[in-house]
Amino acid sequence: MKAPTLISLHGGHSGQYCTHAKDLLEDIIQRYVTLGFTSVGITEHIPPVNDQFLFPDEKKLNLTTADILKRFEDYFINLNSLKKKYASKIKIFIGMETETYKGSVNHIQKLISKFKPDYIVGSVHHIENICFDYSIEDYERVVSLCGSYETMYEKYFDLQYDMIKVLKPFVVGHFDLIRIYDNTYKKRLLFPKIAQKIERNLNLIKSLDLIMDFNLRPLARGEKEPYITDWILNRAKKMRIRVVPGDDSHGISEVGGHVEKAIEILTRAGFDTKWPTPRLLS
Ligand SMILES: [Zn+2]
Ligand SMILES: [Zn+2]
């Protein structure tokens, strides 16, 4: 049997177009080529809808929404030319990682019609319009705002459900990201009210024939398992949902990180490793 090809459909953030990433986009592409990737999806973060949703490091640099939008335009121009330049070596899929907050749907739909990406990664990084994954302090703030961890998890999966329904992202990004700073997430995800919402979201993903991101960022941080956690992965397998690795790289040193291991896990679990071709669904 032919060995599965290396793939990442979520990552390739670069210092050129993302303030919390490192390195030039072309160097990142070259690293994928060197590692033997024959196709890859590059999915830079979308610009914020307004200054309220700038990342803290962008605010620190006094960047505005207009600056980031300009940077995002440059990203598409550059990535389109890199796609052509490296076409004989690697198939580049031009993507973008979306957000979920007040006004995001309209904003994303406009970005899609303006930039015409090959596909999108649909992510949720905000609850009650506050980013929860940037730091543990942000996370704790959102917990207290929600009143409890359980309520926060429930809100997360509800926001994710609505996002999936309206955007139909080809890749659903880091499905259980909400566990990011919670040491007892294993137990928490199994709470009946939360597990029900997970099951509901998986059913929606299946019915729309979307793909789940097997996101390797936790492994890069030294944690035990990727997003998604093992039992959700098993559920996905039973439901015949496609799962594809995403290195979520934010610089050359993270390119392709743990992708071989991810493929090994997916192969062992019986997933199809003939990777699907990303496309726009909405
Ligand atoms: Zn990022
Ligand atoms: Zn993300």
| Cα(252)–Cα(257) distance, integer angstroms | 10
Rounded Cα distance between 246 and 28, Å, is: 15
Span from the CA of 20 to the centroid of ligand 1 (angstroms): 6
Q: How far is the CA of 42 from the centre of ligand 1 (A)?
A: 12
pLDDT of 1: 59
Helix, strand, coil shares of the chain, percent, nearest 5, are: 45, 10, 40
> Is residue 214 helix, strand or coil?
strand
> Running DSSP on this structure, what letter comes out for residue 191?
S
Domains of the chain: 25-268 (3.20.20.140)
Q: Are 119 and 95 in contact (CB under 8 A)?
A: yes
- How many other CB atoms are found less than 10 A from the CB of residue 269? 13
**Ligand number, closest to the Cα atom of 13:** 1
Q: Which ligand is nearest to the CA of 254?
A: 1
Q: Which ligand is nearest to the CA of 20?
A: 1
Q: How confident is the model at residue 101 (pLDDT cuts 50, 70, 90)?
A: very high
Average pLDDT value for the chain: 97
CA dihedral 198, 202, 205, 210 (to 10 degrees): 110
Between the CA of residue 100 and those of 45, 104, 154, 252, 266, what are the distances in Å?
A: 12, 6, 15, 27, 28
Q: What is the pLDDT of residues 8-19, one digit of tens each?
A: 999 999 999 999
Quick one: which ligand is closest to 249's CA?
A: 1
Residues with CB under 5 A from ligand 1 (ion): 13
- The per-residue pLDDT for range 18-41, each reduced to its tens digit, is 999 999 999 999 999 999 999 999
pLDDT, tens only, 60-85: 999 999 999 999 999 999 999 999 99
Whole-prediction pTM value? 0.97
- Separation of 13 CA from ligand 2 center, angstroms? 10
What tens digit of pLDDT does each residue of 123-150 get?
A: 999 999 999 999 999 999 999 999 999 9
DSSP letter at 254 equals: G
Q: Rounded to the nearest whole angstrom, what is the distance from the C-alpha of residue 174 to the centroid of ligand 2?
A: 7
Nearest ligand, measured from the Cα of 124: 2
Q: Which long-range contacts (CB under 8 A, 24 or more apart) does 110-113 make?
A: 111/46, 111/47, 111/72, 112/280, 112/282
Q: Give the distance (Å) from ligand 1 centre to CA of residue 199.
A: 27
What is the Å distance from ligand 1's center to 250 Cα?
Answer: 7
The environment of the single-atom ion ligand 2, i.e. residues with CB closer than 5 A, is 123
Q: Tell me the per-residue pLDDT of 162-205, one tens digit each, with 9 for 90 and over.
A: 999 999 999 999 999 999 999 999 999 999 999 999 999 999 99
Is the four-CA dihedral 110, 250, 172, 177 of positive or negative sign?
Answer: negative
Q: Which residues pair with 107 in a beta bridge?
A: none
